[in-house]
Structure 1
Amino acid sequence: MDTIFFILSKVVQFCIEPLNWVIVFVCLGLVFLGLRKPHLCKRFLVFALLDLLVVGWLPASELLLRPLEDAVPRTEIGKLSPDDFGGIIILGGAIEGGNIATERGEISIHSSAERVTKAFELIRKYPDLPFIFSGFSGRVTPKGVSEAEAFKQLIKEQGLADRPAYYENQSRNTYENVIFMKPMINEIGQGKARKPWLLITSASHMYRSTLIFHQQGIEVFAVPVDYQTARSPQWTAFDLVDGAQNWNKLTHEYIGLFAYWVTGKI
């Protein structure tokens, strides 16, 4: 059932992402051109153009993405003592494992690189705190090394291999991140007072993540990174690449929130 849920979520996200509809509109335009119905052809080409304008005009996505990024306040870590934390949790989603890591011998980091750089910062700052990296692959057909294995290699390259580390390498989505980490967290905190863990993930992903952790009885301090929006909209900004990334994050998060709510996961 979890596998069906995982695949279905990927299909739905692909179907509703605005940029993917450009292909549909252009194909329909070509079909009607071949059927010698130029008025319908022009209409779908106009739809494709409008779609590109909506995707590229950044305020269109920023106005929807900003509430997600602001939903969970950032924890003022500097005002807390290391004794207030149970450990550090790093959620996957920023590292390219798979065939690239296997065939090139180097680990690539995506646009969400702040998840990794913030993790290195906190691991160095709190050398005695255990950390858990959670992530296998978000792909339907994963290949090569897992994200957890790739992060383990990065930790070694950074000279941090002597820190108390745990790796969860089975999860394919946020819900599985939490479910598979929960036994680790319980084992690490066994015989001690339960303390909140520092949670590192993208700002847009933090709201859904904290809901799942709370549902499973795990308290976390939010450390959001990878912000895509400023405090005020960039009204004149147009960028298809950034816009497409924003819409990808938007659809991913809102579909995830809806699906997890329907299935009782949050």
Structure 2
Amino acid sequence: MFYFFSKTLYYLLTPAGWLVGLLVLALLTKKPARRRWLTGAGLAVFWLFGNSVFMNELALLWEYPPAPVPTDAPNRVAVLLTGGMVNTMKEVPDNRFLLGREADRAGQALYLYKVGAVRTILISGGSGDLPFQKKDVNDEGQMIRRLLLLSGVRPEDIVLEGKSRNTHENALFSARVLRERFHTDQCVLVTSATHMRRAAACFRNESVRVSPFPGVFVSSRRSFEPGDFILPHEQTFSDAYYLSREVFGYLVYWVMGYV
């Protein structure tokens, strides 16, 4: 039940969900004054969370900063968390696949392998079972394995953990693999910068010591151009969805005792 609600109700706790909710209420209300107030509130939500200066400051506070390449990882295992690395919404020929928004996660794990910082990449992420989820999404771990193989990673250096459906289970099942197969309770953790705070806390809750190595940054260099203050940006509003989802996700996990 927690898995279902965690994957479906997050939308209502994001700026996009708030905007849609306010506009729907504005359409349903019969009082002109209330309709104007709700419409104005919706515009305020879009402007605030589309403000690139404001959202960049929030992202800089929340995201894990870029990390140096670790040099002391025992057994040198990188745990790569799946989620959004493959674009499954477009059909392509030749049994190939397209990369998605979170593909930099795989790129960071590949970089660690290529420079010799890790010897093994443990891909953590299994199949979802929601009725509205596309079935080919469930193959992301296998797809990323194919990408790593094409990039020169040896087959014996890739391990798949295919049971986990969320971040809590990523940590739970990866911890077992680390201890049973690699005889260690340490790893280099690779995921997006916005997701890293929750992911690292989940792994530490399972008594796994992690060296965070984030990618897919929402934040950027500070910019104070006048247009950034005045005009909302659609890309910034989209990024606000991922950032707010992670903040609320961390709070929910804290209540559940997962972090």
Q: What is the TM-score when the length of structure 1 is the normalising length?
A: 0.82
Indicate which of 69, 84, 100 corresponds to 1:77: 69
Q: Give me the whole-angstrom Cα distance separating, in 1, the residues matched to 2:41 and 2:232.
A: 18
* Deviation, structure 1 residue 104: 7.6
Q: What is the one-letter code of the residue matched to 1:24?
A: G
**Match of 1:20?**
17
Contact 2:80-2:123 within 8 A present in 1 as well: yes
1:247 pairs with 2:240: yes
Q: Give me the whole-angstrom Cα distance separating, in 1, the residues matched to 2:224 and 2:143.
A: 36
Contact 2:75-2:182 within 8 A present in 1 as well: no
Q: Give me the whole-angstrom Cα distance separating, in 2, the residues matched to 1:102 and 1:39.
A: 51
Measured at CA, do residues 170 and 155 of structure 1 come closer, stay the same or move farther in structure 2, by a change above 3 Å? same
1:41 pairs with 2:60: no
Q: Secondary structure at the match of 2:9?
A: helix
Between stretches 115-124 and 8-17, larger displacement belongs to 8-17
Measured at CA, do residues 139 and 103 of structure 1 come closer, stay the same or move farther in structure 2, by a change above 3 Å? farther
Q: Secondary structure at the match of 1:232?
A: coil
Contact 1:97-1:146 within 8 A present in 2 as well: no
Across the two proteins, how many residue pairs are aligned to each other?
253
Indicate which of 108, 118, 128 corresponds to 1:118: 108
Q: What are the equivalent positions in structure 2 for 1:177-196 lying under 5 Å apart?
A: 177-190=170-183, 194=184, 196=186
Contact 1:127-1:163 within 8 A present in 2 as well: no
1:96 pairs with 2:86: yes
* Deviation, structure 1 residue 225: 1.3
Indicate which of 218, 232, 237 corresponds to 1:228: 218
Q: Percent identity, aligned pairs only?
A: 22
* Deviation, structure 1 residue 174: 0.8
Q: Secondary structure at the match of 1:90?
A: strand
Q: What is the one-letter code of the residue matched to 1:69?
A: E
**Match of 1:63?**
57
Q: Give me the whole-angstrom Cα distance separating, in 1, the residues matched to 2:129 and 2:100.
A: 14
Indicate which of 2, 5, 17 corresponds to 2:2: 5
Indicate which of 259, 262, 265 corresponds to 2:252: 259
Indicate which of 172, 176, 194 corresponds to 1:204: 194
Contact 2:18-2:45 within 8 A present in 1 as well: yes
Contact 2:81-2:124 within 8 A present in 1 as well: yes
Write out per-residue CA displacement over residues 148-170 of structure 1, whole angstroms, 9 at most, x where no aligned residue: 11112212322324341111122
Measured at CA, do residues 30 and 260 of structure 1 come closer, stay the same or move farther in structure 2, by a change above 3 Å? closer
1:219 pairs with 2:216: no
Q: Give me the whole-angstrom Cα distance separating, in 1, the residues matched to 2:109 and 2:181.
A: 19
Q: Give me the whole-angstrom Cα distance separating, in 2, the residues matched to 1:101 and 1:188.
A: 36
Contact 1:95-1:107 within 8 A present in 2 as well: no
Measured at CA, do residues 23 and 75 of structure 1 come closer, stay the same or move farther in structure 2, by a change above 3 Å? closer
Q: What is the one-letter code of the residue matched to 2:28?
A: V
Q: Give me the whole-angstrom Cα distance separating, in 1, the residues matched to 2:94 and 2:4.
A: 28
Contact 1:101-1:150 within 8 A present in 2 as well: no
Measured at CA, do residues 161 and 56 of structure 1 come closer, stay the same or move farther in structure 2, by a change above 3 Å? same
* Deviation, structure 1 residue 249: 2.0
Measured at CA, do residues 133 and 55 of structure 1 come closer, stay the same or move farther in structure 2, by a change above 3 Å? same
Q: Which runs of 5+ in 1 are unaligned?
A: none
* Deviation, structure 1 residue 98: 5.0
Q: Give me the whole-angstrom Cα distance separating, in 2, the residues matched to 1:139 and 1:97.
A: 18
* Deviation, structure 1 residue 245: 3.0
Contact 2:48-2:232 within 8 A present in 1 as well: no
Contact 1:107-1:154 within 8 A present in 2 as well: no
* Deviation, structure 1 residue 223: 0.8
Q: What is the TM-score when the length of structure 2 is the normalising length?
A: 0.84
